[in-house]
Structure 1
Amino acid sequence: MSSSTPAGQEPVWAVLGASGFIGSSLEAVLTSAGITVRFVKAPRLTSRTFEVSGILAEAAALRDIRQDLAGALSGADVVINAAGLATPTGADSPELRGANALLPVVIADAADDAGARRFIHLSSAAVQGHRPLLDESTQVEPFSAYSRSKALGEAALGARVPGRCPVTSLRATSVQGASRQTTASLVRVASTPLSSVAGRGKSPSPVSSVDALCSFVLAAGRHSGTVPPVILQPWEGATVASVLSAAGGRSPLHLPVWLCRTALRTGYLVSGLFGERMHGTLRRVEMMWFGQRQAPGWAEATGNVPEPRVHQVLEAARKLS
């Protein structure tokens, strides 16, 4: 329990983005852990910059919004930012950068002012793009407007002058839930002849469950020691083949690796000629075929790996379809 929580009282955690998929899923997990959840409305911001320095300057100018947020966060032990625009296939816009890059900095500043013990910003493993190994380094390779906006948010948080409230960017992987539209889409594809993997299908998949993510957020927020500036949601043990089998109830087709790589190279080349319009969709196909490995990180080192639930979540989603 936080030192800022009076003895005998439940800790209060403030969550921004309550109406979103992850934000709404957090309430049950936090409440069952004896935490009072305070939902705080996230302001709608826009940003005209593509640079970290510009994001910091824009955040510094939003004094009134920062003050209002600090008032709403007052008394909160932990602040969680689950707000933002989750549009992996969307185009760049001031609204996208405002929600995914500028807003996290404004919240971090407000959490400082409010005296919170910890601020957890929910980022995305998409910031590392096509890197063969996801990890907790600051090395990023964003490949789309969405991933660039999330990477810009992480970089801006890392560049701001540290305050009293430590900041952690938690990189969520490909989070699935029985009621999520992207999960329903995965179930539909996995149930058709389009369900396929490259080679043997044994490659690790970063597809994960919202249950495990919420448990990981809880563990990071409760941790009594230092939490690094960047942490990665742990791997849940899924492979590209096991994900499709759980979601579709059938074994996927095994395609030659060379054919999959050739198709992806061609697809990205064509997409690049049309302003990256197909990058998000192609990335989903790439993840379905090849997956992505994850390096052990803070969770494994501190014993904070949540119970894997991804296969159960996918099977539940299939039964609902």
Structure 2
Amino acid sequence: MTQHLSPQETEVQQTSAPEQASAPWVVLGSSGFIGSAVCAGLKEAGITVRTVSAPRLESAAHDVPGLLEEAARLAAVRAELAAAFTGAAVIVNAAGLATPGGTDSPALRGANSLLPVVIADAADAAGVRRFIHLSSAAVQGHRPFLDETSFVQPFSAYSRSKAGGEHALAARAAGPCSTVTIRATSVQGPQRATTAKLVRLAASPLATVAGSGSAPSPVSSVDSLVQFIRTVGLHAGSVPAVVLQPWEQSTVAGVLEAAGGRKPRRLPEWFCRSALWGGYRLSSLAGERLHGPLRRLEMMWFGQRQVPGWAEATGNVPEPRVQEILRSVQAREPATS
């Protein structure tokens, strides 16, 4: 179901806060793909990093009021996190369940919908300057373009759980801590299993695009995401409540060529749209079990345009690195016939 989050508009100022680099940053989810990259990137930039284990929460709530009620009851968890956040300048939440093809569960809702609210409440209590929550561009679903508006149209259990986290953060009473949600796109990196799968697919006869292949791709690099997280955290002025990871200037054909070392085959657009139409309907009958693979196929064929946002308006676009990363992974993969 389409949802509209309560807008939280704030003034954008193009300034930086180098003095904040001396204060520690706290990273939750530091053992994961993105969390570990964030820790490494911050340390490389001279920022002290403190890692905190994310509490494992479960949620029975299916709406925002229920999530906020559950968060209010977790006083002990909130107090423990607030103590761990004491003295920190920025909190980065890279924790959660990254299961695009998974089914709905209390654990999924707890990790992706409830946990961000509890962290935000704890950051307020600890006097933290900024809380950065990592969400997913999947919350905007199949629409032709991604942007930084409150519009969400989740299409799967995973995207609904991430949208629930955004919605709950927007609805909670605003505290002294600046809360910013970054909608990450399709993040790739040398150590990610999905990147190796993408490289193998791109080198195979299955590498195809719809039409000319000139559609913009939301495939992005973990290096650029880490740089963007650091920029948002150090920014001294106000940042919008939701910002989108900037586009890295790649087309769907360009991504496959960089990953596979060969040009992808072109398929008629009508054929691709018909195949996806039938696939999603079959998946719906099977409890959305095929939604994850179908979404990846849709992104490979059609990509998704991104509307320029805060990063472009303030000159804070990170250096595009995705094609470089894909080529490096492709170079070390065994040759496929």
Q: TM-score range by the shorter chain?
A: over 0.9
Tell me what 2:130 maps to.
118
User: 1:265-289 CA deviation, whole Å, 9 max, x = no partner?
Assistant: 0000111111111011100000000
**2:331 matched to 1:308?**
no
Equivalent pair of 1:4/1:117 in contact (CA under 8 Å): no
Once the two structures are TM-superposed, the CA of residue 19 in structure 1 deviates from its matched residue by: 0.4
1:216 aligns with 2:228: yes
Look up the match of 1:188: 200
2:147 paired with 1:135: yes
Q: CA deviation at 1:316?
A: 1.1
Q: Distance in 1 between matches of 2:293 and 2:145?
A: 20
Q: Which amino acid aligns with 1:167?
A: T
Q: How do 1:119-268 and structure 2 match up within 5 A?
A: 119-268=131-280
TM-score w.r.t. the length of structure 2 is 0.93
In the other structure, the counterpart of 1:75 is: 87
Q: Following the alignment from structure 1 to structure 2, what is the Cα–Cα distance between the partners of residues 4 and 315?
A: 37
Query: SS at the partner of 2:152?
Result: coil
Q: Which residue of 1 aligns with 2:9?
A: none
Counterpart position of 1:275? 287
In the alignment, is the contact (CA less than 8 A) between 1:29 and 1:215 conserved in 2?
yes
CA shift for structure 1 position 3 = 10
Deviation at 1:4, TM superposition (A): 9.2
- 1:31 pairs, out of 23, 26, 43, with 43
More relative contact order, 1 or 2 (CA 8 Å, 6+ apart): 2
Cα distance between partner residues in 1 of 2:270 and 2:142: 17
TM-score normalised by length of structure 1? 0.97
Q: Which runs of 5+ in 2 are unaligned?
A: 1-15
SS in 2 for 1:267: helix
Give the ranges of 4+ consecutive aligned residues of structure 1 lying more than 2 Å apart after TM superposition. 1-5
Q: Give the conservation status (yes or no) of the 8 Å contact 2:210–2:268.
A: yes
Amino acid in structure 2 at the alignment position of 1:318: Q
Distance 2:252 2:17 in 1: 40
Q: Which residue of 2 aligns with 1:91?
A: 103
Is 1:16 matched with 2:44? no
Read off the aligned partner of 2:253 and give its amino acid letter.
Answer: A
Q: Indicate which of 100, 109, 123 corresponds to 2:112.
A: 100
Instruction: Kindly tell me the number of residue pairs found equivalent between the two proteins.
Output: 318
Match of 1:109 among 112, 121, 133: 121
Q: Tell me the percent identity.
A: 64
Q: 1:286 aligns with which of 287, 298, 302?
A: 298
How far the C-alpha of 1:306 sits from its partner, in A, is: 0.2
SS at match of 2:243: strand
Task: Return the alpha-carbon distance in structure 1 between the equivalents of residues 172 and 19 of structure 2.
Answer: 24
Q: How much has 1:31 moved relative to structure 2?
A: 1.3
User: 1:2–1:11: 8 Å Cα contact kept in structure 2?
Assistant: no
The answer (yes or no) to whether the contact 2:258–2:326 under 8 Å persists in 1 is yes
Q: Could you tell me how far apart the structure 2 residues matched to 1:13 and 1:196 are?
A: 42
Distance 1:86 1:218 in 2: 22
SS in 2 for 1:49: coil
- Cα distance in 1, alignment partners of residues 69 and 296 from structure 2: 35
Stretches of structure 1 that go unaligned for 5 or more consecutive residues are none
Deviation (angstroms), 1:45: 0.3
Partner of 1:234: helix, strand, or coil? coil
